[in-house]
Chain A
Amino acid sequence: MRIFRWRAIGPLLVFTLLAGVLWVLLADRIARRAAEEIGTAIVGAKVEIQKLHIDLTNGDVTVRGLTVASPHEALKNLFQADELTADIDVLPLLEKKVVIDRLAANGLRFGTPRLTDGRTAGRPDGVTARVLAETRRWSEQFQVPAIQLATGKIDVGTLDPRRLSAIPAAEALSARADSSRRAWQTGLDSLRLAATIDSATATLTRLRGARATDLAALSDARRAIDHLKQARGRVTALERGVTGGLAALRAGVAGLDSAKQRDYAFARGLLKLPTLDAPEIGLALFAPSAVAQFQRALYWTQLARAHMPPGLLPRAEQGPPRARRSGSTVRFPREHALPGFLLRTAELSFQLDPTAPRPKRYAGRLTGLTSDPALYGRPTLFEASAPAVTAGAMLDHVHATARDTAGATVQGVRLPVIQLPSLPMALDPGQGTAQLGFALRGDTIRARWAIRSTHVQWSRDSAVQRSTGADLLWRTLSGISDLQVDAGVTGTLSQPRLSVRSNLDAAIAARLRTMLGEEAAAAERRLRAEVDRQVDPAIAPVRARVTALQSEITGRLAQQRARLDQAQKDLESRLRELTRIRLP
């Protein structure tokens, strides 16, 4: 039995030839569909190509009518390109690697409108869907305050007496006053002044009947004076303690006043006032627009990190879409080998405002876009400069910690209309200057978005019911023709900090204060009265008790001291009389 079926060689050759002819006929279509599928999976939005032609003999690939939908806006394209011409290396294709030496992109137009929603978010378990979900979660962690303009009502919360600090402070001071009073009473009792004064009085009585030669009486008198002096010393010591104690109690009374002030502040906190601080108003007005810009920048950066990871370790990515399970496709980059994808240089010719009557053309250059930055060894760079445009980006994934930076300043470009949340109006900045700076080092983010315009036009939302507040604000804002917005994000991706300020903040804050000032003051007066009603019954008795205690204890001390002084004075006077030398 023969092993080979020789007569089948002919049909096999015919089959192979047929496959070759089919390839020639269908290669462009197959490549176009593959490019559309891969592009759509990477971007997370539809990628459509009108025509793609592969010329392997010359290593040329030409793409005409490229449309990439925006993954963030339903009816908008990320960009469109009239024609892309790529010079590719043919030999790396045998290693399933795409190396493009030079790409010329002509007629790039950004932000063009489209008729259908081009967002796809990629495959549910794919990288793009994950990055999109992550960046969406990231943007949702910013707390954006709302301006409560429609009602202008001020809500007053419930004042819970348990949360007032003056009442427990008064109770504590009352206890301290009682304790001090008992201590001072004990101190006065322990002085035994009555016995000392009585003894001195008795000595004085004996001394009045004594003669100058009655040495024993004189000696008793001097001893009694000494006792009186000692008793006065004890009184002085007690008096010093009482003075300190009374000072502490008076400080406690003053502390009650402070506690009451704190309670006023606490009660003010219960007033649910609309946002009146300028920085908060900046956040309320422009945070959604700013966060959307940062979210997009983060999306593209994270997408770049996912598709251009650092390092040379084998890494898995989602397998190709097919009827069978996709599995994972593992890449095995090797040092000094070619990357899976490399675009060495791209020359870009683009328009930023294609809807303008006379759109301006700009030129840019992209170098080193690769799937394996560690193999390429250099960061991906983009730069574009023109009289009114400066843009640059660097994706440095060569080392373990990825560093991505991008910055752009565009002058004289039409800025998009900004809907102001919480306010029934929108502003059209018209032509102006837009700036975006974005830096992501590891997971540390630092980003800035700014817009400037001097021809702002305001439009009012007629669908929203009119209110006095909105009318006043409309009159204020519609007279402002300048716009300056500065927004920034700092911190880490898990704990970002957002700040937004604009030239409208102060104007809106002042207007809101005027509008709501009277009502806020009345509500605050009501709350202060409520604090007084709850706190004063606790404070007043304590204050009176401390005052009474002060009067009582100082009076008693003064009285005792006066008696001691009088007894000593009488004894000393009599003693001087007896010991005076009388000349014959």
Chain B
Amino acid sequence: MLTLVKLLQSLVKALHSEGTPGQLAAGIALGSILGLTPLLSLHNAIVFALIVLLNVSFPGAMLGWALFVPIGFLLDPLFDSIGHTLLFTPSVTPFFTSLYNMPVVPLTNFNNTVTLGSLVFSVVFFLPLFFATRWGVTRYRATIGERVRQSKWYRAVTASKLYNIYRLFRPEP
């Protein structure tokens, strides 16, 4: 229950943050990579650094991560299948062999079927998710966003201490 409340809180805060719909969508799309792929992978350190360094919505990224973790669990069989197909395609075996015998690259666990399958899926899914989210946020803010902002429970949410913490990473204008 607490998780759901926090998720709702993140969603509300993200939708009403100062960032543009594009920044929010980019944050959610990057966060989706964290959620869809196994967390303890080297590529997720890079994705996290991008979320922090790029001028995207950090709450949006956290929201994307939280939203896509259960989806990642659900889609694991699909990722396993995608990864298995890719890793055992003879034409790309030399490529993977080179990667496997390079420094650092094996630390990404690219040679794991679920890791590779989920990463490929999330990268392919990145742009559609970005554009769909940007369109959705724009429509939200243009329609019911202002009424939500004026509601009592929104004020209660934004008054919490957590709000002050994430303001540190709010997108800059």
* 8 Å CB contact of B114 from A11, A94, A327: A327
> Does A322 make an interface contact (CB < 8 A)?
yes
Q: Cα distance A331–B87 when bound, in Å?
A: 10
Interface residues of A in 309-349 (CB under 8 A from B): 314, 316, 319-320, 322, 324-334, 337-338
Interface residues of A in 332-370 (CB under 8 A from B): 332-334, 337-338
Q: Cα distance A332–B93 when bound, in Å?
A: 8
B83 closest partner in A (C-beta)? A327
Contact yes or no, A4 B100, CB < 8 A: no
Q: Cα distance A330–B113 when bound, in Å?
A: 8
* 8 Å CB contact of A96 from B97, B106, B114, B173: B106
Contact yes or no, B38 A322, CB < 8 A: yes
Main secondary structure of the interface of B (DSSP, over half): helix
> Does A22 make an interface contact (CB < 8 A)?
no
Contact yes or no, A319 B96, CB < 8 A: no
> Does B133 make an interface contact (CB < 8 A)?
no
Q: Cα distance A314–B89 when bound, in Å?
A: 11
- Given A324-B38, A324-B73, A327-B83, check contact A314 B93 (CB 8 Å): yes
Q: What is the distance, in angstroms, from A528's C-beta to the closest C-beta of chain B?
A: 70
Q: What is the distance, in angstroms, from A126's C-beta to the closest C-beta of chain B?
A: 15
> Does B158 make an interface contact (CB < 8 A)?
no
> Does A3 make an interface contact (CB < 8 A)?
yes
Q: Cα distance A314–B93 when bound, in Å?
A: 8
Contact yes or no, A3 B55, CB < 8 A: yes
Q: Which residues of A contact B144 (CB under 8 A)?
A: none
Q: What is the distance, in angstroms, from A56's C-beta to the closest C-beta of chain B?
A: 15
* 8 Å CB contact of B101 from A3, A8, A337: A337
Q: Cα distance A337–B107 when bound, in Å?
A: 17
> Does A195 make an interface contact (CB < 8 A)?
no
Contact yes or no, B172 A332, CB < 8 A: no
B109 closest partner in A (C-beta)? A329
Q: Which residues of A contact B87 (CB under 8 A)?
A: 314, 316, 330
Q: Cα distance A91–B106 when bound, in Å?
A: 13
Contact yes or no, B113 A94, CB < 8 A: no
Interface residues of A in 1-48 (CB under 8 A from B): 1-5, 8-9, 11-12, 15
Contact yes or no, A334 B80, CB < 8 A: no
Contact yes or no, B114 A326, CB < 8 A: yes
Contact yes or no, A332 B100, CB < 8 A: yes
Q: Cα distance A95–B102 when bound, in Å?
A: 6
* Number of chain A interface residues as a range: 20 to 34
Contact yes or no, A334 B97, CB < 8 A: yes
Q: Cα distance A319–B76 when bound, in Å?
A: 13
* 8 Å CB contact of B115 from A94, A96, A327: A327
- Given A12-B49, A12-B52, A332-B96, check contact A325 B101 (CB 8 Å): no
The proximity string for B residues 75-90 relative to A, scoring 1 for CB distances below 8 Å and 0 otherwise, is 0110110011001100
Q: Which residues of A contact B49 (CB under 8 A)?
A: 12
Q: What is the distance, in angstroms, from A338's C-beta to the closest C-beta of chain B?
A: 8
Q: Which residues of B contact A3 (CB under 8 A)?
A: 54-55
> Does B124 make an interface contact (CB < 8 A)?
no
Contact yes or no, A330 B88, CB < 8 A: yes
Interface residues of A in 114-142 (CB under 8 A from B): none
Contact yes or no, A332 B97, CB < 8 A: yes
Q: What is the distance, in angstroms, from B78's C-beta to the closest C-beta of chain A?
A: 10
B80 closest partner in A (C-beta)? A327
State the A residues within 8 Å of B (CB). 1-5, 8-9, 11-12, 15, 91, 94-97, 314, 316, 319-320, 322, 324-334, 337-338
State the B residues within 8 Å of A (CB). 20, 38, 40, 49, 52-55, 72-73, 76-77, 79-80, 83-84, 87-88, 93, 96-104, 106-107, 109, 111-115, 117, 168-169, 171-173
Q: A329-B109, A330-B96, A332-B100 are in contact. List 17 more A-B contacts (CB 8 A).
A: A1-B172, A1-B173, A2-B55, A5-B54, A8-B53, A12-B52, A95-B104, A96-B106, A314-B88, A314-B93, A319-B112, A320-B112, A324-B72, A324-B76, A324-B114, A332-B101, A334-B98
A to B CB contacts below 8 Å, 27 in the list: A4-B55, A5-B169, A5-B172, A11-B168, A12-B49, A12-B53, A91-B103, A94-B103, A96-B107, A314-B88, A314-B96, A314-B97, A316-B87, A322-B40, A324-B114, A325-B80, A327-B80, A327-B84, A327-B112, A328-B113, A329-B109, A330-B112, A332-B93, A332-B96, A333-B97, A334-B100, A334-B101
